[in-house]
Structure 1
Amino acid sequence: MSIQLITDSGADLPQSYIRGHRIAFLPLVVHWNGQDYEDGITIEPKQVYDAMREGHTVKTAQPSPLAMKELFLPYAKENRPCLYIAFSSKLSGTYQTAMAVRSELLDEYPEFRLTIIDSKCASLGQGLAVMKAVELAEQNTPYNLLCETIESYCRHMEHIFTVDNLDYLARGGRISKAAAAFGGLLNIKPLLHVEDGALVPLEKWRGRKKVLKRMVELMGERGDDLQKQTIGISHADDEETALELKRMIEETHGCTRFFLSDIGSAIGAHAGPGTIALFFLNKYIEI
């Protein structure tokens, strides 16, 4: 592959996929139990979810500028064109830091082509964009066309998700503690989505079954040519529910192509165990 693809752990892609397609990888930082870990490398999501269930606080941070520079530098030296598909700038400072490091590198290597896309996506919304970039790169798609296509792909990515426990959103400041306590008593399951890279509450439903049914309905309302797409489903230590959602989508929309993965430690530390997320395009892009 002449174009070097780069992403971070916000994409929630398995390390087997990252290594298998030789994608350069930036892990976000997970801080727990007095130590810093590299998301997807030195800590597993299950460890984080178990800790959260036990009441521990898990914090996260973006990769350091030094880590980014060390990753980008070899490609700058060999003048290899790169595309970095980054975690949403509304959810992390990773994109802004990467742009600053890019500017620094271009002072020394002015011919270096490094395009950094603010995906405005998270989890498999970002991950599916990376997978599309892999597909295009392996077809020897010209650099500029590949970057333009992925930019458009990210803009048309839908994120619909629900959390199992409102307390974790309250800890992150997404909702008030009082709302979390009240919602817990009534078995309220919030439905959220992403607008311009930021998490936005959408609807509230009572009970898990109703919220899953509504996710499938929204998919039909917002999706385009769903049967042609690869549908993404990510989950926070709840594979059983992810498979149930997959079955519902198969029966309702006739989709046959799916990619399921764990929600990684960095995103999971904010969403909490039991989160279920669904990803698809609202405008099918074919090239």
Structure 2
Amino acid sequence: MTVHLIADSAADLPRSFYDENRISFIPLRVLLDEKEYDDLLTIQPAEVYEAMRRGKAPKTSQPSLQLLTDMFSRLAKEGNPALYIAFSSQLSGTYQTAVMAANEVKEEFPHFDLRVVDSKCASLGYGLAVKHALELAANGNTIQEIEMSVKEFCDHLEHIFTVDDLTYLARGGRISKASAFVGGLLNIKPLLHVEDGKLVPLKKIRGRKKLLKRMIELMKERGRDLSSQTIGISHGDDEESASEIKRLIEAEFHPKDIVVNMIGSVIGAHAGPGTLAIFFSGKEKR
């Protein structure tokens, strides 16, 4: 039987990707100027970044239990097994809400094979996990095989990223406001990664050139067989920086493919314009 895939907008994949590959799409929500929007449906990332540059402070929220229950019920009636790969449970309550919705639907449809996986990934790192699942589904793998392989894939996926303005992370409580102020004065940029689904600071680096160099060094230190991988790059409305890191990665590692996409409204609302992130498979489990 065909395995139906489900993913949410925090995967930072283009909206067209879901339609073209018949993946059910769950939008997270953005609150801007006291109006609520559905990510990639009624608001686009560029609009959120432009608002942030004007001093606005958008907020985000997870999908409703009702939305998830309705979607899962529709899929249950179709009869195919379904796998929802969810945004990291350490960064959103979406996974927990999806588990509640799945349990509710399974009571009504006890034979429906619905599984919810906590990717512990974000942005295009999560997006690469969805692409990995899609390849497996297209090759006819069972839902058990896809679930196990996706979990293994996510366990090894590295997220290395930086932000242009520390103010946005300070607003979300990721760093202190004092650190954000000092960082802005001294051109200090933080380098962060994801550990067990949570954002963890790695280092503070002064100057853009040193920052990009260190990101490449971390790929060398942590990556495995990078030439055979698809590398992910996501950016906060900063195509210039994304193109620059792409050139460096191509020159150093010659990967199989590089996917570049803008960071979506939900993650962008917390990281801000100018964020730059790279994603690749690492040697060790995260």
TM-score (norm 1): 0.97
Who is 1:30 aligned against?
30
Matched, 1:278 2:255: no
SS at match of 1:50: helix
Query: How much has 1:246 moved relative to structure 2?
Result: 0.6
Matched, 1:87 2:75: no
Structure 2 CA distance for aligned equivalents of residues 113 and 26 of structure 1 = 19
SS at match of 1:224: coil
SS at match of 1:80: coil
Structure 2 CA distance for aligned equivalents of residues 283 and 211 of structure 1 = 22
Who is 1:107 aligned against?
107
Query: How much has 1:35 moved relative to structure 2?
Result: 0.7
Structure 1 CA distance for aligned equivalents of residues 209 and 36 of structure 2 = 37
Who is 2:68 aligned against?
68
Query: How much has 1:78 moved relative to structure 2?
Result: 2.6
- AA in 2 matched with 1:71: M
Structure 2 CA distance for aligned equivalents of residues 139 and 112 of structure 1 = 22
Who is 1:207 aligned against?
207
Q: Which moved more, 1:257-266 or 1:141-150?
A: 141-150
Structure 1 CA distance for aligned equivalents of residues 282 and 32 of structure 2 = 37
Alignment of 1:124-203 (within 5 A): 124-203=124-203
Who is 1:2 aligned against?
2
SS at match of 2:116: strand
Query: How much has 1:110 moved relative to structure 2?
Result: 0.8
Who is 1:98 aligned against?
98
Structure 2 CA distance for aligned equivalents of residues 238 and 152 of structure 1 = 31
State how many pairs are aligned: 284
Residues 98-153 of structure 1 show CA distances to partners (whole Å, capped at 9, x for unaligned) of: 00011111111111111110000000110000001111111111221111101111
- AA in 2 matched with 1:139: N
- Provide the identity percentage: 58
Structure 2 CA distance for aligned equivalents of residues 77 and 17 of structure 1 = 24
Who is 1:259 aligned against?
259
Query: How much has 1:283 moved relative to structure 2?
Result: 4.3
Query: How much has 1:186 moved relative to structure 2?
Result: 0.5
- How large is the RMSD of aligned CA atoms in angstroms? 1.1
Structure 1 CA distance for aligned equivalents of residues 78 and 237 of structure 2 = 41
Structure 2 CA distance for aligned equivalents of residues 18 and 79 of structure 1 = 20
Structure 2 CA distance for aligned equivalents of residues 80 and 132 of structure 1 = 19
Q: Is the 8 A contact 2:12 2:262 kept in 1?
A: yes
SS at match of 2:46: helix
Structure 2 CA distance for aligned equivalents of residues 71 and 108 of structure 1 = 14
- AA in 1 matched with 2:144: N
Structure 2 CA distance for aligned equivalents of residues 265 and 166 of structure 1 = 18
Q: Is the 8 A contact 2:3 2:142 kept in 1?
A: no
Q: Is the 8 A contact 1:84 1:117 kept in 2?
A: yes
SS at match of 1:70: helix
Alignment of 1:108-123 (within 5 A): 108-123=108-123
- AA in 1 matched with 2:114: L
Query: How much has 1:181 moved relative to structure 2?
Result: 0.4
Structure 1 CA distance for aligned equivalents of residues 146 and 87 of structure 2 = 18
- AA in 1 matched with 2:155: R
SS at match of 1:95: helix
Structure 1 CA distance for aligned equivalents of residues 100 and 234 of structure 2 = 31
SS at match of 1:280: strand
Query: How much has 1:154 moved relative to structure 2?
Result: 0.8
| Consecutive unaligned residues in structure 2, runs of 5 or more | none
